[in-house]
Amino acid sequence: MICNHMEKLTSSKFLESSKLYFAMISLQIGYAAMNIITKVSLNQGMSHYVLVVYRHALATAVIAPFAIIFERKKQPKITFPVFVQIFVLALLG
């Protein structure tokens, strides 16, 4: 029983300490897949502009649910002065 408990502690410590490594490996796999898909689609004649639009649409569809779920309650109210500041910053680049 003690040995089983120690195994659980060691495996949970391993998973906890290796989260960043798994995230980095997943990120690299994503970049590789994106490069392969980009190369294949451009070789088949897809426009660069269409590819950019599709990539941004896919990224929005993947990331938006996480933002809605995890950041919904943390989001401050957008008052008129905050809206004006955002507008001016977007306008000036």
Burial of 41 (0-12, 13-18, 19+ CB in 10 A): middle
For residue 56, what are the domain limits? 47-93
Give the pLDDT confidence score for residue 6 in this predicted structure: 56
Residues of the chain with pLDDT under 50: none
Residues 61 and 40 grouped into a single domain = no
Residues 52 and 90 grouped into a single domain = yes
Residues 85 and 52 grouped into a single domain = yes
pTM for the model stands at 0.57
Residues 38 and 66 grouped into a single domain = no
Cα–Cα distances (Å) from 16 to 3, 21, 26, 33, 93, in that order, read 20, 10, 16, 26, 40
Residues 51 and 93 grouped into a single domain = yes
Give the pLDDT confidence score for residue 73 in this predicted structure: 79
Residues 11 and 41 grouped into a single domain = yes
